[in-house]
Structures are given as C-alpha cells and as structure tokens.
C-alpha cells in the first residue's frame, strides 16, 4: 500500500514582550516571541535526516497584531531549509481557503478552520493536506526532535492494516520522551494538587501499553505525535470549541463516529518544550476543557446516530476525568491552590467565577461541534487534490491520492 504522507507542524508566535497569549479565549502552552527563533529550526533540522520525507506544512498561529511579523519570521526561518519542501500557511493562505468556504456557502465555519485555537488549527492542517492530495497526515509539534531516520516508516506502519476483529487502522498515536528519557508524567506534585493529579492515572496506562504489543486500541492521543489517514480525517474533524486537549477529544469524537485511534509503542519523539505559561492560566483552561468534555459526552447520548462513550471504557485514564465529579474536584483544587500557590489571587478568581463560567460555556456550546461535523466531509471533498488552490498556496506540485478506496469507504474523498 503506497501512502502519500505529509508532516504538519503548528507553530505559535507572539509579540516581543509576551511569553503567553490569551487570544479570543485561547491560551497556548507556549509561544515564541517574534524577535527570537524558538524551537522551530531545531525541529526542522531533525527532519532533514528522515528518509522519504516529501512535504512539510507549517501552520503559523500568532496573537493579534503580530500576524504579519510572525508569518515573515517563519518564512525567514524556512529560507535556511531550502533543501526541504516546506509550505508556510499563515494569514494570506488562510484567506484563500476561507474564500473557498464562502464560495461553497459555508462561510459560517471559517472560525472552525483557522489559525486560532488548537482544534481549529489542526483542522486547517487537515484541509491543507487535502488540498495537496495527501492521504496521510502526520502531526508533530515545533518543540519536538525526531531522533530516527526511519520516523516516516514508523509513522505509517499499520495504516491500512486489518486487525483480528476486522477493523482497518486509519488513525494512531505515539508518545513522547522528555529530557530525562522518560515517557512518564511527573508524579511529584505539591499537596494542593492532591485532587488534580492526572499523572498517576496516565502513567498506569502508559506502563501497560509500552509492555504490550506494538499496536493496541488507545485511550490516549498526543497531537504532537499523531497519524491520520484520509479515511479518518475526511470523516471526523477536530473540535474547535474545546479549550485544550483537542487530541484526546479527537479520540473521543472518533469513537462516537465508530472509529478507533491505535497506540503504536514504537512511534516516539523527544519533547523539549520551553517554559510555559502561568500555571493558573493553564488550570483555568483545563477546567474549561474537562467541563466541556463531560457535557459533550452527555449531549452525545441524546444523538441516535452516535456510538456511546462512557468514562469506564477509558480506564485508567482519562476515564476518572470524564465523570461529573470533576466539578467538585475543580472547586476544591482552586481553593487549595489559592491557599498554597503564589498565584493565589488568580486561583481565587477561578474558584469564585471561572468555574461557573466554564459550566455555562459547556452548556452553551456542547452541540456546536456536531453541527459543524455534519459539514466537515463536504469541506474535505470540496478541496481534495485541488490544483488551483494548491497553486495559490505556493506549490503547483499536487500529490495525487493513490490509496483512496482501499477500505471501500472514503465517502468524503473524491478528486476533482
């Protein structure tokens, strides 16, 4: 089976004095100031030795007011990698794609496929891959290093493989090593995080899958080490309304629509992130994330065309975080952190105000994704292997799909 993979890398930029950004309700883990080079050159340099690498797509996200500077900064970095086939997608390219939405009468979905917010940015990556006709998308992040020259071979391994139960693998994930060569999360947490400790549950899961067979049905998903075939991404989009954790949410959404993501314990990357944002800011976004996820799962139960996803099917992680008890845990943790953490004022505000707002956001928006999802296959179909669009995005060489149809499904994919 010949696949045409593309590596897609989101990269996040901010003004010279910023270390993190709150952008229309969006908080990123880290952003690179536009007067610095950040981790992107290191990541691209590690890709140089990857055998069989064809196209790399860079998605340039930035805080308001520095979009043009960020775009030019990334293009300047790419100039040093003239030996690689790299497409930079910034505000100019996004406008081109959005015009296509308007021509289709789907302009209302532009914010669901854009360069703001984790889910919307990943949707933009999938649409760009569709435009160039790539049947496989490999997501990595700009603060990672690829250590193996056979990374591409590892990434596509198993795609199109039939499992003993007859299921065809169309999506999978790998895992990270940190600077200490450990794939596990840090469990040495302060006392005020007693009720907000995901590390132990996550590590229990990782221990099991790393000892098991190479491919197993996954409970976790890493957006920075993720492989999606068109049969998966052409039918299921990322959720733009979730604050963070869009990768795990994609796994849950995929199950709702009858597909699984598989864990490959021989697909790994080294993750070397810079110092991130304020801890209170990340906690607030986690509150929004888990409240929304719980509400979304409950709402999905009312939809007769969806498979039911329950917390007990996702043990030991993330099942406990998908229970309604997450609300009480968030309140208790905000109080404990207000007492014990130096950002005590921020945690007090979260406990007295943000938790209530997060619950309201979840109630107001939990149905949005399913409405957008109904239109997603048509969006993919409308741009699939689209030579005029590809030319406007800066590269006339369109990779024609060669494997569409191997499952007999591919209802979302049709060449123009």
For the chain, which residues make up each domain, given as ranges?
A: 5-276+376-392
- The pLDDT of 17-39, averaged and rounded, is 74
> Helices in 104-139 by DSSP H: which ranges?
118-131
Do residues 228 and 216 touch, judged by C-beta distance below 8 A? no
The pLDDT value recorded for residue 395 is 57
Is pLDDT above 90 for 397? no
- The pLDDT of 2-30, averaged and rounded, is 78
User: pLDDT averaged over the chain?
Assistant: 90
Residue 88, phi then psi, degrees to nearest 5: -100, 125
DSSP 8-state class, residue 68: H
Rounded distance between C-alpha atoms, residue 153 and residue 336, angstroms: 47
The pLDDT value recorded for residue 27 is 80
Condensed to tens digits (0 to 9), the pLDDT of residues 279-316 reads 888 899 999 999 999 999 999 999 999 999 999 999 99
DSSP 8-state class, residue 383: H
Name the superfamily (CATH) of residues 5-276+376-392: Spore Coat Polysaccharide Biosynthesis Protein SpsA; Chain A (3.90.550.10)
- The pLDDT of 169-184, averaged and rounded, is 90
Residue in this structure with the two tokens 């954790």, named with its chain if needed:
245
The pLDDT value recorded for residue 115 is 97
Give whole-number Cα distances, 109 to 119, 138, 379, in Å: 13, 24, 10
Neighbours of 286 (CB within 10 A): 20
Rounded distance between C-alpha atoms, residue 282 and residue 373, angstroms: 27
Do residues 61 and 10 touch, judged by C-beta distance below 8 A? yes
The pLDDT value recorded for residue 348 is 94
Query: Which of 215, 163, 185, 226 is CA-nearest to residue 10?
Result: 226
Query: Which of 296, 154, 282, 291 is CA-nearest to residue 238?
Result: 296
Is pLDDT above 70 for 275? yes
Is pLDDT above 80 for 343? yes
The pLDDT value recorded for residue 236 is 97
- When pLDDT is cut at 50, 70 and 90, the band that residue 2 belongs to is confident
Condensed to tens digits (0 to 9), the pLDDT of residues 70-117 reads 999 999 999 999 999 999 999 999 999 999 999 989 999 999 999 999
- When pLDDT is cut at 50, 70 and 90, the band that residue 244 belongs to is very high
- For the chain, give the number of residues: 416
Is pLDDT above 70 for 19? no
- When pLDDT is cut at 50, 70 and 90, the band that residue 180 belongs to is confident
Residue 243, phi then psi, degrees to nearest 5: -65, -40
- When pLDDT is cut at 50, 70 and 90, the band that residue 278 belongs to is low
The pLDDT value recorded for residue 76 is 96
């Amino acid at each position: 089976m010949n696949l045409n993979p593309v590596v897609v890398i989101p990269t996040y930029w901010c003004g010279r004095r910023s270390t993190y950004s709150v952008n229309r309700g969006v908080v990123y883990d880290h952003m690179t100031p536009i007067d610095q080079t950040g981790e992107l050159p290191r990541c691209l340099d590690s890709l140089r030795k990857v055998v069989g690498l064809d196209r790399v797509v860079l998605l340039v996200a930035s805080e308001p007011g520095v979009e043009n500077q960020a775009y030019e900064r990334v293009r300047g970095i790419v100039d040093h990698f003239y030996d690689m086939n790299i497409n930079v997608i910034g505000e100019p390219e996004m406008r081109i794609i959005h015009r296509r939405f308007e021509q289709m009468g789907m302009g209302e979905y532009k914010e669901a496929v854009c360069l703001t917010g984790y889910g919307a940015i990943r949707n933009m990556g999938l649409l760009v891959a569709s435009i160039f006709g790539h049947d496989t998308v490999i997501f990595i992040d700009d603060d990672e290093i690829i250590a193996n020259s056979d990374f591409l071979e590892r990434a596509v391994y198993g795609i199109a493989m039939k499992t003993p139960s007859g299921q065809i693998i169309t999506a999978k994930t790998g895992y990270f090593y940190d600077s200490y060569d450990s794939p596990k999360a840090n469990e040495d947490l302060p006392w005020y995080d007693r009720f907000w400790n995901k590390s132990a549950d996550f590590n229990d899961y990782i221990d099991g899958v790393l000892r098991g067979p190479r491919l197993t049905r996954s409970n976790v998903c890493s957006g920075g080490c993720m492989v999606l075939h068109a049969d998966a991404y052409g039918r299921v989009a990322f959720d733009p309304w979730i604050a963070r954790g869009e990768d795990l949410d994609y796994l849950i959404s995929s199950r709702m629509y009858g597909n699984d993501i598989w864990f490959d314990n021989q697909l790994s990357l080294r993750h070397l992130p810079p110092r991130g944002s304020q801890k209170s800011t990340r906690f607030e976004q986690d509150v929004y994330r888990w409240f929304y996820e719980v509400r979304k799962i409950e709402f999905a139960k009312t939809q007769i065309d969806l498979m039911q996803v329950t917390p007990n099917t996702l043990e030991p992680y993330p099942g406990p975080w998908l229970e309604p008890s997450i609300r009480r845990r968030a309140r208790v943790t905000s109080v404990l952190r207000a007492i014990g953490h130096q950002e005590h004022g921020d945690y007090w505000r979260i406990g007295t105000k943000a938790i209530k707002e997060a619950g309201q956001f979840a109630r107001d928006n939990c149905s949005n994704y399913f409405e957008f999802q109904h239109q997603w296959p048509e969006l993919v179909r409308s741009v699939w292997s689209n030579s005029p669009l590809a030319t406007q995005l800066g590269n006339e060489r369109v990779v024609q799909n060669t494997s569409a149809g191997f499952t007999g499904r591919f209802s979302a994919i049709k060449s123009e």
